[in-house]
């Protein structure tokens, strides 16, 4: 999607900088440690955003990839367990960048659950970041593997999944100020991560 087509839910950038307890909290121990690591390397906002993205993408294993049963929701949980699905990784990235003063929102796509229409659909979570010199752009901290190569780019998007409208997939243009309630509810009420695979909302 061309970044000019992104539709922020709010025109007030301050709405993309706030904490959203308990999911987005800045002052927890491991979040503070991660922020110190980023600040020690650079004060440049673009580079800070890139480092936060790479931390969420590379340092946190995707629970579906590893077939883990563990569900993490907040940034602190993801850092503690070093794992999480796409939503948790997006929560972590938003926590780090917001704490660094970089407006960040939540974006979603509707994708095939297992690659076929018969397998059904599920939401996939990612982020949009705002930098003064580029405006809004999307990044996907899902985590790379064979066939997936998401990168931090401010011009042409390089996300995890190509969206195939002909198969019923949807690339939602919205940049939400907070995670969807339906997403958090599915994460909180699923017995384990295996159940969460099927309990994820199918649409926004």
pTM higher than 0.75 for the full model? Answer: yes
Over the chain, what is the mean pLDDT?
97
Report whether the peptide linkage leading into residue 22 is cis, meaning its omega lies within 30 degrees of zero: yes
Q: What is the CATH number of domain 3-199?
A: 3.10.620
Q: Is the pLDDT of residue 3 over 90?
A: no
For position 203, what pLDDT does the model report? 97
- Provide the terminal-to-terminal Cα distance of the chain, rounded to the nearest Å: 18
Report, as an integer, the average pLDDT of 62-80. Answer: 97
Q: Hey, where are the domains in the chain? A: 3-199
For position 36, what pLDDT does the model report? 98
Token code pair at residue 26: 């800045």
Residues 6+ away with beta carbon under 8 Å from 68: 61, 83, 193
């Amino acid at each position: 999607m061309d970044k000019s087509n992104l539709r922020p839910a709010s025109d007030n950038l301050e709405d993309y900088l706030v904490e959203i307890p308990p999911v987005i909290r800045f002052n927890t121990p491991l979040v503070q440690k991660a922020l110190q690591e980023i600040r020690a390397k650079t004060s440049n906002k673009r580079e800070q955003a890139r480092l936060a993205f790479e931390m969420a993408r590379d340092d946190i294993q995707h629970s579906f990839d590893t077939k883990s049963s563990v569900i993490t929701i907040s940034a602190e949980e993801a850092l503690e367990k070093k794992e999480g699905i796409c939503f948790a990784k997006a929560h972590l990235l938003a926590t780090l960048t917001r704490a660094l003063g970089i407006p960040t929102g939540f974006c979603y796509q509707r994708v095939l659950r297992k690659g076929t229409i018969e397998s059904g659909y599920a939401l996939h979570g990612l982020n949009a970041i705002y930098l003064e010199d580029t405006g809004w752009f999307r990044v996907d901290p899902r985590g790379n593997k064979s066939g997936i190569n998401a990168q931090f780019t401010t011009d042409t998007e390089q996300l995890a999944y190509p969206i195939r409208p002909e198969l019923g997939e949807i690339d939602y243009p919205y940049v939400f100020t907070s995670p969807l309630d339906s997403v958090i509810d599915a994460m909180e009420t699923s017995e384990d991560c295996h159940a969460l695979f099927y309990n994820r909302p199918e649409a926004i």
